[in-house]
Chains A and B, each alone.
Chain A
Amino acid sequence: MAEHRPHPASTPQSIRAEAIEILLIERGLLSESVIDDVIVRFNERVGPMNGARVVVRAWTDPEFKTRLLADGSAAVAEYDFEGGQVDKLVVVENTEAVHNVVVCTLCSCYPWSLLGLPPRWYKDPAYRSRIVREPRAVLEEFGVSLAESTSVQVWDSSAEVRYLVLPQRPTSSIGLDEADLPALVTRDSMIGVALL
């Protein structure tokens, strides 16, 4: 059968997928750009970049930071993120004194309009129970070592309230161009299981 393959990268599945796409476009049911848009929407526009932009603005705009910490939902509403209907968003700030980490002990509530799709481990029963019982040990496993003097605050999400961690700005980022800052802000840092 190999000689029938039009291209080494083509597989029976890729050909069938393309055939279906051609037929659906011929029918006027879809267009190439509509399909492209869906993929982009899931992988980029609804991704951790939204959260990263909010974090960077809080780092660089003290007035926005005040508003963000006072009322996360209202401050984030200014952005009009796609699918961003978070009923109540609470933003919690990491400092030398307090490290915040987010969990949903009941299910998997998550501010996905800001952070995209949750990582697998967020739904893992072990994470959900252990982060409450022994947060320092779990954070160590994520590679987060905190000073003894830093207390750990665990926030339990629900259908009504979602949490976003505002990570501390890394000192290494001082002097960087503001446009380069969002790339530094990882998804895990906004859940509270990583430092920047």
Chain B
Amino acid sequence: MNEELELEGPIAPPLANGELLFDAPWQGRVFGMARALADQGAITWDDFRVELIAVIGAWDAQSEDARVYHYYDRFLQALETLLVKRGMVAEGELRAQVDAIEARPHGHDH
């Protein structure tokens, strides 16, 4: 199991006192999903790294500000791209699932 994280450089995650820093629960979820998929061999961490580097690189090229606060936006985008590429999730069904969540009444979205 790969426990190593890259703690500096372009794809390092935001940390506080050495702990991973999540500003919202969904950020922890996407981090957990990517690591768990890699642990189970459904994706490789290297493949995910490549996507993350590409997404962060493209974003850095247009914006310098507040990377720390948007790190998991890029992380999510990289995961989504890789899953679609690998055929593990189809874009259409993802869109449908997003619509279904948005259509849920209040109180059912936790």
Interface residues of A (CB under 8 A from B): 4-7, 9-11, 13-24, 27, 29-30, 34-39, 41-43, 46-48, 82-83, 108, 112, 115-120, 123, 187
Contact = CB atoms under 8 A, between A and B. Distances in A.
Contacts of A9: 24
B32 A23 contact: no
B95 to A, nearest CB: 8
A45 to B, nearest CB: 10
B83 interface: yes
Contacts of B33: 17, 20-21, 24, 30, 35
A123 B89 contact: no
A17 B43 CA distance: 17
A14 B26 contact: yes
B39 interface: yes
Interface in B48-75: 72-73
Contacts, number: 136
Given A16-B80, A35-B36, A119-B18, A4 B102 contact: yes
Contacts of B7: 108, 117-118, 120, 123
Interface string B17-49: 111100011111111110111011010000000
Contact of B88 (A15, A29, A47): A29
A13 B106 CA distance: 18
Task: Kindly name the residue among A38, A123, A187 whose own CB sees the greatest number of chain B CB atoms within 10 A.
Answer: A38
A180 B21 CA distance: 26
A112 B100 CA distance: 42
A30 B36 contact: yes
A13 to B, nearest CB: 6
Contacts of B26: 11, 13-14, 17-18
